[in-house]
Chain A
Amino acid sequence: MADNRKSDLIGGLMSFAIEAVFILILGIIAALFAVLAVALVG
Protein backbone atom coordinates (compact mmCIF):
# COMPACT_ATOMS: atom_id res chain seq x y z
CA MET A 1 0.00 0.00 0.00
CA ALA A 2 2.74 2.45 1.01
CA ASP A 3 4.79 1.37 -2.02
CA ASN A 4 1.83 2.06 -4.29
CA ARG A 5 1.41 5.52 -2.83
CA LYS A 6 5.12 6.25 -3.25
CA SER A 7 5.17 5.07 -6.86
CA ASP A 8 2.02 7.14 -7.58
CA LEU A 9 3.69 10.20 -6.08
CA ILE A 10 6.84 9.71 -8.17
CA GLY A 11 4.74 8.94 -11.26
CA GLY A 12 2.58 12.02 -10.76
CA LEU A 13 5.56 14.33 -10.27
CA MET A 14 7.37 12.76 -13.22
CA SER A 15 4.30 13.19 -15.42
CA PHE A 16 4.02 16.88 -14.47
CA ALA A 17 7.75 17.41 -15.07
CA ILE A 18 7.54 15.84 -18.54
CA GLU A 19 4.58 18.10 -19.41
CA ALA A 20 6.51 21.17 -18.23
CA VAL A 21 9.59 20.18 -20.26
CA PHE A 22 7.34 19.60 -23.28
CA ILE A 23 5.96 23.16 -23.01
CA LEU A 24 9.49 24.50 -22.64
CA ILE A 25 10.60 22.72 -25.83
CA LEU A 26 7.42 23.81 -27.62
CA GLY A 27 8.07 27.40 -26.53
CA ILE A 28 11.61 27.25 -27.93
CA ILE A 29 10.27 25.80 -31.20
CA ALA A 30 7.65 28.57 -31.31
CA ALA A 31 10.37 31.19 -30.87
CA LEU A 32 12.40 29.62 -33.69
CA PHE A 33 9.31 29.49 -35.92
CA ALA A 34 8.60 33.16 -35.18
CA VAL A 35 12.14 34.19 -36.11
CA LEU A 36 11.98 32.04 -39.25
CA ALA A 37 8.58 33.46 -40.21
CA VAL A 38 9.80 37.03 -39.82
CA ALA A 39 12.90 36.21 -41.87
CA LEU A 40 10.78 34.62 -44.61
CA VAL A 41 7.86 37.04 -44.98
CA GLY A 42 8.19 39.79 -42.38
Chain B
Amino acid sequence: MLIRPEGDDFRIIGIQLGRIALVTALAGTIPLVWAIVGREWVPATAFLLMVGVLALLGAASRFIEVQHHQLEWSHGMVVVALTWLLVPAVGAIPLALSGHYGSVFDAYFDAMSGLSTTGLVLIQDLDHLAPSLNFWRHLLHFLGGQGIIIAALTLFTGSGGTTLYYGEAREERILPNVRSTARFIWKVAAYHFVIGVMALASVAFFLLGFGAWRSLFHAVTIFFAAFDTGGFSPMSTSIGYYHSAVFEAMAAVLMVAGAMSFGLHFALWRGPRRSAFKNLETRTILGTVAFTMFLTMLGLAAGGIYSNAAGIGRQGFFQLVSAHTGTGFATIAPGELALWGGLAFGGMTMAMALGGMASSTAGGVKSLRIGLTIRNLVNQIRQGLLPERAIQSTTYFQNGVRRFTPELGQAVMTVSLLFVALFLLGTGVALGYGYDLQEALFESVSAGASVGLSVGVTEPTMPFMLKLTYVVQMWLGRLEFIAVFSLVGFLVAWVRGR
Protein backbone atom coordinates (compact mmCIF):
# COMPACT_ATOMS: atom_id res chain seq x y z
CA MET B 1 0.00 0.00 0.00
CA LEU B 2 1.27 3.46 -0.89
CA ILE B 3 1.29 6.02 1.91
CA ARG B 4 0.31 9.49 0.74
CA PRO B 5 2.84 12.18 1.72
CA GLU B 6 1.59 14.59 4.38
CA GLY B 7 1.87 18.36 4.54
CA ASP B 8 5.05 18.16 6.65
CA ASP B 9 6.75 16.07 3.95
CA PHE B 10 6.22 18.86 1.43
CA ARG B 11 7.29 21.50 3.94
CA ILE B 12 10.55 19.67 4.78
CA ILE B 13 11.33 19.39 1.05
CA GLY B 14 10.48 23.09 0.63
CA ILE B 15 12.89 24.12 3.42
CA GLN B 16 15.76 22.15 1.88
CA LEU B 17 15.04 23.50 -1.61
CA GLY B 18 15.01 27.01 -0.14
CA ARG B 19 18.48 26.50 1.33
CA ILE B 20 19.77 25.33 -2.03
CA ALA B 21 18.15 28.35 -3.71
CA LEU B 22 20.04 30.62 -1.29
CA VAL B 23 23.35 28.91 -2.08
CA THR B 24 22.67 29.30 -5.81
CA ALA B 25 21.73 32.97 -5.30
CA LEU B 26 25.04 33.46 -3.50
CA ALA B 27 26.88 31.90 -6.46
CA GLY B 28 24.87 34.06 -8.86
CA THR B 29 26.15 37.25 -7.25
CA ILE B 30 29.66 36.55 -8.64
CA PRO B 31 28.70 36.98 -12.34
CA LEU B 32 26.36 39.81 -11.26
CA VAL B 33 29.26 41.77 -9.75
CA TRP B 34 31.39 40.82 -12.75
CA ALA B 35 28.76 42.20 -15.15
CA ILE B 36 28.43 45.44 -13.15
CA VAL B 37 32.21 45.97 -12.96
CA GLY B 38 32.53 45.17 -16.67
CA ARG B 39 29.65 47.53 -17.51
CA GLU B 40 27.72 44.69 -19.18
CA TRP B 41 24.35 46.20 -18.31
CA VAL B 42 22.03 43.78 -20.11
CA PRO B 43 23.59 40.65 -18.52
CA ALA B 44 23.72 42.53 -15.18
CA THR B 45 19.95 43.08 -15.28
CA ALA B 46 19.38 39.42 -16.15
CA PHE B 47 21.64 38.26 -13.30
CA LEU B 48 19.83 40.61 -10.92
CA LEU B 49 16.54 39.02 -11.93
CA MET B 50 17.94 35.51 -11.43
CA VAL B 51 19.47 36.28 -8.04
CA GLY B 52 16.23 38.03 -7.01
CA VAL B 53 14.09 35.00 -7.90
CA LEU B 54 16.45 32.63 -6.06
CA ALA B 55 16.72 34.89 -3.01
CA LEU B 56 12.93 35.24 -2.90
CA LEU B 57 12.48 31.46 -3.01
CA GLY B 58 15.12 31.03 -0.33
CA ALA B 59 13.63 33.73 1.88
CA ALA B 60 10.11 32.31 1.48
CA SER B 61 11.32 28.91 2.66
CA ARG B 62 12.53 30.47 5.96
CA PHE B 63 8.89 31.09 6.89
CA ILE B 64 7.94 27.44 6.52
CA GLU B 65 7.30 25.77 9.84
CA VAL B 66 7.28 22.03 10.44
CA GLN B 67 6.50 19.92 13.48
CA HIS B 68 9.01 17.13 12.74
CA HIS B 69 12.29 18.33 11.31
CA GLN B 70 13.67 14.89 10.53
CA LEU B 71 14.80 14.71 6.90
CA GLU B 72 14.10 11.16 5.79
CA TRP B 73 15.70 9.22 2.96
CA SER B 74 12.79 9.85 0.56
CA HIS B 75 12.79 13.61 1.30
CA GLY B 76 16.51 13.85 0.53
CA MET B 77 16.15 12.00 -2.75
CA VAL B 78 13.21 14.17 -3.84
CA VAL B 79 15.15 17.34 -2.92
CA VAL B 80 18.14 16.26 -5.01
CA ALA B 81 16.01 15.29 -8.04
CA LEU B 82 14.08 18.58 -7.89
CA THR B 83 17.26 20.61 -7.38
CA TRP B 84 18.63 19.32 -10.66
CA LEU B 85 15.38 20.34 -12.42
CA LEU B 86 14.75 23.72 -10.79
CA VAL B 87 18.25 25.23 -10.58
CA PRO B 88 18.75 24.96 -14.37
CA ALA B 89 15.30 26.57 -14.84
CA VAL B 90 16.26 29.66 -12.84
CA GLY B 91 19.91 29.52 -13.91
CA ALA B 92 18.78 29.68 -17.54
CA ILE B 93 17.23 33.16 -17.07
CA PRO B 94 20.40 35.15 -17.94
CA LEU B 95 21.17 32.77 -20.81
CA ALA B 96 17.65 33.02 -22.25
CA LEU B 97 17.76 36.83 -22.08
CA SER B 98 21.18 37.01 -23.77
CA GLY B 99 19.85 36.72 -27.32
CA HIS B 100 22.23 33.83 -28.01
CA TYR B 101 19.57 31.13 -27.94
CA GLY B 102 16.91 30.15 -30.45
CA SER B 103 14.37 29.51 -27.69
CA VAL B 104 13.96 29.52 -23.91
CA PHE B 105 14.17 25.72 -23.94
CA ASP B 106 17.56 25.90 -25.69
CA ALA B 107 18.79 28.03 -22.77
CA TYR B 108 17.35 25.47 -20.31
CA PHE B 109 19.12 22.72 -22.29
CA ASP B 110 22.48 24.48 -21.87
CA ALA B 111 21.85 25.21 -18.18
CA MET B 112 21.03 21.53 -17.59
CA SER B 113 24.07 20.57 -19.63
CA GLY B 114 26.18 22.91 -17.47
CA LEU B 115 24.83 21.78 -14.11
CA SER B 116 24.97 18.08 -14.99
CA THR B 117 28.58 18.64 -16.20
CA THR B 118 27.72 17.28 -19.64
CA GLY B 119 28.89 20.00 -22.02
CA LEU B 120 26.55 19.63 -25.01
CA VAL B 121 25.60 23.11 -26.25
CA LEU B 122 22.86 24.82 -28.24
CA ILE B 123 24.26 28.33 -27.84
CA GLN B 124 24.70 30.39 -30.99
CA ASP B 125 27.59 32.74 -31.71
CA LEU B 126 29.42 31.74 -28.53
CA ASP B 127 32.55 33.67 -29.52
CA HIS B 128 30.68 36.97 -29.00
CA LEU B 129 29.00 36.13 -25.69
CA ALA B 130 29.49 38.65 -22.85
CA PRO B 131 32.31 37.47 -20.51
CA SER B 132 30.06 37.50 -17.42
CA LEU B 133 27.57 35.16 -19.15
CA ASN B 134 30.39 32.94 -20.36
CA PHE B 135 31.68 32.79 -16.80
CA TRP B 136 28.19 31.86 -15.52
CA ARG B 137 28.02 28.91 -17.94
CA HIS B 138 31.26 27.58 -16.49
CA LEU B 139 30.25 28.35 -12.92
CA LEU B 140 27.23 26.09 -13.51
CA HIS B 141 29.73 23.28 -14.16
CA PHE B 142 31.44 24.06 -10.86
CA LEU B 143 28.13 24.18 -8.97
CA GLY B 144 26.95 20.92 -10.48
CA GLY B 145 30.30 19.19 -10.28
CA GLN B 146 31.26 20.14 -6.75
CA GLY B 147 27.61 19.79 -5.91
CA ILE B 148 25.19 22.45 -4.81
CA ILE B 149 24.19 19.91 -2.22
CA ILE B 150 27.78 19.73 -0.97
CA ALA B 151 27.77 23.52 -0.74
CA ALA B 152 24.52 23.50 1.20
CA LEU B 153 25.89 20.81 3.51
CA THR B 154 29.01 22.88 4.13
CA LEU B 155 27.11 26.09 4.86
CA PHE B 156 24.08 24.84 6.72
CA THR B 157 24.05 22.55 9.69
CA GLY B 158 21.17 20.22 10.30
CA SER B 159 20.17 16.61 10.17
CA GLY B 160 19.73 14.52 7.08
CA GLY B 161 22.93 15.47 5.27
CA THR B 162 23.73 11.85 4.51
CA THR B 163 20.65 11.25 2.37
CA LEU B 164 21.30 14.43 0.34
CA TYR B 165 24.93 13.41 -0.12
CA TYR B 166 24.10 9.94 -1.42
CA GLY B 167 21.26 11.28 -3.56
CA GLU B 168 23.81 13.27 -5.55
CA ALA B 169 25.33 10.00 -6.77
CA ARG B 170 28.17 10.03 -4.26
CA GLU B 171 28.94 6.72 -2.65
CA GLU B 172 32.06 7.32 -0.60
CA ARG B 173 32.16 8.95 2.79
CA ILE B 174 35.87 9.46 3.24
CA LEU B 175 35.84 11.06 6.69
CA PRO B 176 33.74 10.11 9.74
CA ASN B 177 30.82 12.38 8.82
CA VAL B 178 29.34 13.85 5.67
CA ARG B 179 30.13 17.43 6.64
CA SER B 180 33.85 16.83 7.11
CA THR B 181 33.86 14.85 3.84
CA ALA B 182 32.17 17.80 2.11
CA ARG B 183 34.84 20.14 3.50
CA PHE B 184 37.61 17.87 2.23
CA ILE B 185 36.00 17.86 -1.23
CA TRP B 186 36.11 21.69 -1.23
CA LYS B 187 39.71 21.65 -0.05
CA VAL B 188 40.76 19.39 -2.95
CA ALA B 189 38.93 21.69 -5.37
CA ALA B 190 40.56 24.80 -3.86
CA TYR B 191 44.10 23.41 -4.15
CA HIS B 192 43.51 22.25 -7.72
CA PHE B 193 41.96 25.63 -8.52
CA VAL B 194 45.03 27.58 -7.38
CA ILE B 195 47.59 25.28 -9.04
CA GLY B 196 45.48 24.60 -12.16
CA VAL B 197 44.59 28.23 -12.84
CA MET B 198 48.19 29.35 -12.30
CA ALA B 199 49.45 26.67 -14.72
CA LEU B 200 46.83 27.34 -17.43
CA ALA B 201 47.18 31.12 -17.14
CA SER B 202 50.99 30.85 -17.38
CA VAL B 203 50.74 28.77 -20.56
CA ALA B 204 48.22 31.24 -22.05
CA PHE B 205 50.30 34.28 -21.06
CA PHE B 206 53.84 33.11 -21.83
CA LEU B 207 53.35 30.58 -24.64
CA LEU B 208 50.18 31.74 -26.40
CA GLY B 209 50.78 35.47 -26.00
CA PHE B 210 47.40 36.27 -24.39
CA GLY B 211 47.12 39.42 -22.28
CA ALA B 212 47.03 39.06 -18.47
CA TRP B 213 43.26 39.47 -18.06
CA ARG B 214 42.45 37.21 -21.01
CA SER B 215 44.85 34.54 -19.72
CA LEU B 216 43.15 34.55 -16.33
CA PHE B 217 39.64 34.43 -17.85
CA HIS B 218 40.48 31.44 -20.06
CA ALA B 219 42.35 29.69 -17.22
CA VAL B 220 39.44 30.01 -14.77
CA THR B 221 36.74 28.93 -17.23
CA ILE B 222 38.78 26.01 -18.57
CA PHE B 223 39.60 24.96 -14.99
CA PHE B 224 35.91 24.80 -14.05
CA ALA B 225 35.07 22.82 -17.18
CA ALA B 226 38.05 20.43 -16.85
CA PHE B 227 38.12 19.76 -13.10
CA ASP B 228 34.35 19.27 -13.01
CA THR B 229 34.54 17.13 -16.17
CA GLY B 230 32.04 19.51 -17.80
CA GLY B 231 33.29 20.30 -21.28
CA PHE B 232 32.03 23.84 -21.91
CA SER B 233 34.70 26.13 -23.22
CA PRO B 234 34.77 29.91 -23.68
CA MET B 235 35.30 29.58 -27.44
CA SER B 236 33.24 27.65 -29.99
CA THR B 237 36.22 25.58 -31.16
CA SER B 238 36.76 24.17 -27.65
CA ILE B 239 40.39 23.34 -26.78
CA GLY B 240 41.29 23.35 -30.49
CA TYR B 241 41.18 27.16 -30.17
CA TYR B 242 44.51 27.20 -28.33
CA HIS B 243 46.52 25.11 -30.83
CA SER B 244 48.88 24.16 -28.02
CA ALA B 245 49.98 20.66 -26.97
CA VAL B 246 51.11 22.04 -23.58
CA PHE B 247 47.69 23.59 -22.94
CA GLU B 248 46.04 20.31 -23.96
CA ALA B 249 48.30 18.39 -21.53
CA MET B 250 47.42 20.78 -18.68
CA ALA B 251 43.72 20.37 -19.42
CA ALA B 252 44.19 16.59 -19.50
CA VAL B 253 45.78 16.63 -16.01
CA LEU B 254 42.75 18.50 -14.67
CA MET B 255 40.31 16.21 -16.48
CA VAL B 256 41.94 13.17 -14.88
CA ALA B 257 41.91 14.88 -11.47
CA GLY B 258 38.18 15.53 -11.91
CA ALA B 259 37.43 11.95 -12.86
CA MET B 260 39.27 10.54 -9.83
CA SER B 261 37.20 9.44 -6.85
CA PHE B 262 37.58 11.54 -3.74
CA GLY B 263 38.74 8.38 -1.99
CA LEU B 264 41.69 8.28 -4.36
CA HIS B 265 42.33 12.01 -3.85
CA PHE B 266 42.31 11.37 -0.10
CA ALA B 267 44.81 8.51 -0.47
CA LEU B 268 47.11 10.65 -2.63
CA TRP B 269 46.97 13.50 -0.09
CA ARG B 270 47.24 11.69 3.17
CA GLY B 271 48.41 8.20 2.22
CA PRO B 272 48.90 5.34 2.14
CA ARG B 273 49.51 6.09 -1.55
CA ARG B 274 50.39 2.55 -2.60
CA SER B 275 47.07 1.10 -1.48
CA ALA B 276 45.29 3.50 -3.86
CA PHE B 277 46.84 1.59 -6.76
CA LYS B 278 45.72 -1.74 -5.30
CA ASN B 279 42.08 -0.67 -5.49
CA LEU B 280 39.89 -2.62 -7.90
CA GLU B 281 38.55 0.70 -9.24
CA THR B 282 42.01 2.12 -10.05
CA ARG B 283 43.14 -1.08 -11.78
CA THR B 284 39.90 -1.29 -13.76
CA ILE B 285 40.13 2.26 -15.08
CA LEU B 286 43.80 1.85 -16.02
CA GLY B 287 42.83 -1.27 -17.96
CA THR B 288 39.83 0.27 -19.72
CA VAL B 289 41.75 3.46 -20.63
CA ALA B 290 44.55 1.39 -22.19
CA PHE B 291 42.11 -0.89 -24.01
CA THR B 292 39.86 1.85 -25.46
CA MET B 293 42.88 3.97 -26.35
CA PHE B 294 44.46 1.14 -28.33
CA LEU B 295 41.15 0.45 -30.11
CA THR B 296 40.84 4.15 -31.01
CA MET B 297 44.41 4.35 -32.31
CA LEU B 298 43.92 1.22 -34.42
CA GLY B 299 40.72 2.68 -35.86
CA LEU B 300 42.38 6.01 -36.65
CA ALA B 301 45.35 4.28 -38.30
CA ALA B 302 43.02 2.13 -40.40
CA GLY B 303 40.72 5.06 -41.25
CA GLY B 304 43.50 7.13 -42.77
CA ILE B 305 42.14 10.49 -41.52
CA TYR B 306 45.53 11.49 -40.10
CA SER B 307 48.63 11.10 -42.19
CA ASN B 308 51.12 10.07 -39.47
CA ALA B 309 51.51 8.53 -36.02
CA ALA B 310 52.03 11.97 -34.42
CA GLY B 311 48.60 13.17 -35.59
CA ILE B 312 46.92 9.90 -34.57
CA GLY B 313 48.63 9.95 -31.16
CA ARG B 314 47.84 13.57 -30.31
CA GLN B 315 44.21 13.61 -31.48
CA GLY B 316 43.48 10.09 -30.28
CA PHE B 317 45.01 10.70 -26.85
CA PHE B 318 43.21 13.96 -26.11
CA GLN B 319 39.79 12.94 -27.41
CA LEU B 320 40.00 9.57 -25.63
CA VAL B 321 40.99 11.09 -22.26
CA SER B 322 38.19 13.63 -22.69
CA ALA B 323 35.68 10.84 -23.45
CA HIS B 324 36.76 8.46 -20.68
CA THR B 325 36.80 11.16 -18.01
CA GLY B 326 33.37 12.36 -19.17
CA THR B 327 34.62 15.87 -19.88
CA GLY B 328 33.76 16.55 -23.51
CA PHE B 329 36.59 18.89 -24.54
CA ALA B 330 37.64 18.46 -28.15
CA THR B 331 40.57 19.57 -30.26
CA ILE B 332 38.72 18.75 -33.47
CA ALA B 333 35.39 19.89 -34.92
CA PRO B 334 32.24 17.71 -34.56
CA GLY B 335 32.31 17.12 -38.32
CA GLU B 336 35.81 15.65 -38.09
CA LEU B 337 34.87 13.52 -35.08
CA ALA B 338 31.95 12.14 -37.09
CA LEU B 339 34.49 10.74 -39.56
CA TRP B 340 36.01 8.53 -36.84
CA GLY B 341 34.33 5.32 -37.93
CA GLY B 342 34.99 1.65 -37.17
CA LEU B 343 37.22 0.84 -34.20
CA ALA B 344 37.87 4.53 -33.40
CA PHE B 345 34.11 5.09 -33.04
CA GLY B 346 33.86 1.88 -30.95
CA GLY B 347 36.75 2.87 -28.67
CA MET B 348 35.41 6.39 -28.10
CA THR B 349 31.81 5.28 -27.47
CA MET B 350 32.95 2.56 -25.10
CA ALA B 351 35.19 5.03 -23.22
CA MET B 352 32.28 7.48 -22.82
CA ALA B 353 29.92 4.76 -21.59
CA LEU B 354 32.44 3.34 -19.09
CA GLY B 355 33.12 6.77 -17.56
CA GLY B 356 35.30 7.80 -14.63
CA MET B 357 35.45 6.76 -11.00
CA ALA B 358 32.64 6.55 -8.47
CA SER B 359 32.01 9.65 -6.33
CA SER B 360 33.68 11.85 -8.92
CA THR B 361 32.06 14.39 -11.23
CA ALA B 362 32.45 12.03 -14.20
CA GLY B 363 29.43 10.20 -15.55
CA GLY B 364 28.90 6.83 -17.20
CA VAL B 365 28.64 3.39 -15.65
CA LYS B 366 31.87 4.07 -13.72
CA SER B 367 34.94 1.95 -13.11
CA LEU B 368 34.05 0.39 -9.80
CA ARG B 369 30.84 -1.02 -11.28
CA ILE B 370 32.72 -2.26 -14.34
CA GLY B 371 35.33 -3.95 -12.11
CA LEU B 372 32.62 -5.52 -9.95
CA THR B 373 30.64 -6.64 -13.03
CA ILE B 374 33.73 -8.41 -14.39
CA ARG B 375 34.34 -9.93 -10.95
CA ASN B 376 30.70 -11.07 -10.86
CA LEU B 377 31.05 -12.68 -14.28
CA VAL B 378 34.22 -14.52 -13.23
CA ASN B 379 32.43 -15.70 -10.08
CA GLN B 380 29.53 -17.05 -12.11
CA ILE B 381 31.85 -18.96 -14.42
CA ARG B 382 33.90 -20.27 -11.48
CA GLN B 383 30.73 -21.35 -9.65
CA GLY B 384 29.66 -23.27 -12.74
CA LEU B 385 32.95 -25.15 -12.80
CA LEU B 386 32.97 -26.01 -9.09
CA PRO B 387 31.20 -29.06 -7.60
CA GLU B 388 27.51 -28.40 -6.86
CA ARG B 389 27.90 -28.21 -3.08
CA ALA B 390 30.96 -26.00 -3.11
CA ILE B 391 30.49 -22.48 -1.73
CA GLN B 392 32.96 -19.86 -2.82
CA SER B 393 33.68 -16.72 -0.88
CA THR B 394 35.01 -13.83 -2.95
CA THR B 395 36.68 -10.65 -1.85
CA TYR B 396 37.98 -7.57 -3.62
CA PHE B 397 40.24 -4.70 -2.59
CA GLN B 398 38.74 -1.22 -2.45
CA ASN B 399 40.17 0.89 0.38
CA GLY B 400 40.58 -2.40 2.28
CA VAL B 401 39.46 -5.97 1.73
CA ARG B 402 35.71 -6.26 1.13
CA ARG B 403 33.40 -9.19 0.60
CA PHE B 404 31.64 -9.51 -2.73
CA THR B 405 28.05 -10.42 -1.89
CA PRO B 406 25.30 -11.52 -4.31
CA GLU B 407 23.31 -8.42 -3.28
CA LEU B 408 26.21 -6.18 -4.31
CA GLY B 409 26.50 -8.00 -7.63
CA GLN B 410 22.78 -7.55 -8.23
CA ALA B 411 22.86 -3.83 -7.39
CA VAL B 412 25.82 -3.25 -9.71
CA MET B 413 24.18 -5.14 -12.56
CA THR B 414 20.91 -3.21 -12.12
CA VAL B 415 22.53 0.22 -12.41
CA SER B 416 24.70 -0.94 -15.33
CA LEU B 417 21.60 -2.21 -17.17
CA LEU B 418 19.76 1.05 -16.44
CA PHE B 419 22.63 2.94 -18.08
CA VAL B 420 22.38 0.69 -21.15
CA ALA B 421 18.63 1.39 -21.29
CA LEU B 422 19.32 5.13 -20.96
CA PHE B 423 21.78 5.04 -23.86
CA LEU B 424 19.28 3.09 -25.98
CA LEU B 425 16.51 5.62 -25.21
CA GLY B 426 18.34 8.52 -26.84
CA THR B 427 19.57 6.33 -29.68
CA GLY B 428 16.03 5.18 -30.43
CA VAL B 429 14.58 8.71 -30.48
CA ALA B 430 17.38 9.98 -32.77
CA LEU B 431 16.92 6.99 -35.09
CA GLY B 432 13.23 7.85 -35.25
CA TYR B 433 14.16 11.29 -36.55
CA GLY B 434 16.29 9.81 -39.32
CA TYR B 435 19.81 10.14 -37.87
CA ASP B 436 22.07 7.22 -38.73
CA LEU B 437 22.87 4.62 -36.08
CA GLN B 438 26.48 5.67 -35.46
CA GLU B 439 25.75 9.34 -34.80
CA ALA B 440 22.54 8.53 -32.86
CA LEU B 441 24.41 6.14 -30.54
CA PHE B 442 27.43 8.42 -30.07
CA GLU B 443 25.36 11.48 -29.15
CA SER B 444 23.03 9.50 -26.88
CA VAL B 445 25.93 7.95 -24.92
CA SER B 446 27.51 11.40 -24.74
CA ALA B 447 24.33 12.88 -23.19
CA GLY B 448 23.55 9.95 -20.87
CA ALA B 449 27.13 9.59 -19.60
CA SER B 450 27.50 13.37 -19.00
CA VAL B 451 30.31 13.67 -21.56
CA GLY B 452 29.44 16.39 -24.08
CA LEU B 453 31.42 15.31 -27.15
CA SER B 454 29.32 15.78 -30.25
CA VAL B 455 29.36 14.47 -33.79
CA GLY B 456 27.04 17.26 -34.88
CA VAL B 457 23.60 16.01 -33.85
CA THR B 458 23.24 18.55 -31.03
CA GLU B 459 22.48 21.84 -32.73
CA PRO B 460 19.75 24.47 -32.38
CA THR B 461 17.78 23.09 -35.35
CA MET B 462 17.46 19.54 -34.00
CA PRO B 463 13.91 18.31 -33.17
CA PHE B 464 12.41 19.49 -29.87
CA MET B 465 11.67 15.93 -28.70
CA LEU B 466 15.31 14.99 -29.16
CA LYS B 467 16.39 18.02 -27.11
CA LEU B 468 13.94 16.96 -24.39
CA THR B 469 15.26 13.38 -24.50
CA TYR B 470 18.84 14.57 -24.06
CA VAL B 471 17.77 16.79 -21.13
CA VAL B 472 16.14 13.76 -19.44
CA GLN B 473 19.25 11.68 -20.17
CA MET B 474 21.54 14.33 -18.66
CA TRP B 475 19.33 14.53 -15.56
CA LEU B 476 19.05 10.76 -15.07
CA GLY B 477 22.70 10.10 -15.94
CA ARG B 478 24.06 12.69 -13.51
CA LEU B 479 21.94 11.49 -10.60
CA GLU B 480 22.34 7.80 -11.48
CA PHE B 481 18.59 7.06 -11.39
CA ILE B 482 17.81 6.50 -7.72
CA ALA B 483 16.92 10.11 -6.83
CA VAL B 484 14.76 10.48 -9.96
CA PHE B 485 12.98 7.18 -9.29
CA SER B 486 12.34 8.33 -5.73
CA LEU B 487 10.76 11.55 -7.05
CA VAL B 488 8.50 9.54 -9.38
CA GLY B 489 7.57 7.24 -6.47
CA PHE B 490 6.82 10.26 -4.27
CA LEU B 491 4.52 11.75 -6.92
CA VAL B 492 2.73 8.43 -7.50
CA ALA B 493 2.21 8.07 -3.73
CA TRP B 494 0.83 11.62 -3.62
CA VAL B 495 -1.70 10.86 -6.36
CA ARG B 496 -2.62 7.26 -5.57
CA GLY B 497 -1.62 6.75 -1.94
CA ARG B 498 -3.93 6.62 1.08
Contacts and interface: CB of A to CB of B under 8 A. Distances in A.
Given A12-B195, A19-B257, A30-B316, A36 B297 contact: yes
Contacts of B301: 34, 37-38, 40-42
Interface string A5-41: 0011001111110111011101101110111111011
Which size class do B's interface residues fall under?
Answer: 35 or more
SS class, residues of chain A in contact with chain B:
helix
Contacts of B304: 42
Interface in B451-487: none
Interface of A: 7-8, 11-16, 18-20, 22-24, 26-27, 29-31, 33-38, 40-42
B268 A11 contact: yes
B235 to A, nearest CB: 23
Interface-centre pick from A11, A27, A30, A34 (highest chain B CB count, 10 A): A34
SS class, residues of chain B in contact with chain A:
helix
Given A15-B269, A22-B256, A37-B300, A8 B187 contact: yes
Interface of B: 187-188, 191-192, 195, 249, 252-253, 256-257, 260, 265, 268-270, 273, 289-290, 293-294, 297-298, 300-302, 304, 308-310, 312-313, 316-317, 320-321
B269 A11 contact: yes
Contacts of B256: 19, 22-23
A34 B195 contact: no
Contacts of A22: 253, 256
Contacts of A30: 293, 297, 313, 316-317, 320
B312 A29 contact: no
A23 B312 contact: no
B268 A34 contact: no
B195 A16 contact: yes
A5 to B, nearest CB: 11
A29 B304 CA distance: 21
B377 to A, nearest CB: 26
Nearest to A32: B313
A27 B100 CA distance: 37
Nearest to B252: A23
Contacts of B298: 37, 40-41
Given A15-B268, A38-B308, A41-B302, 15 more contacts: A8-B269, A11-B268, A12-B191, A12-B195, A16-B253, A22-B256, A23-B252, A23-B256, A26-B252, A31-B317, A34-B309, A34-B310, A34-B316, A38-B312, A41-B298
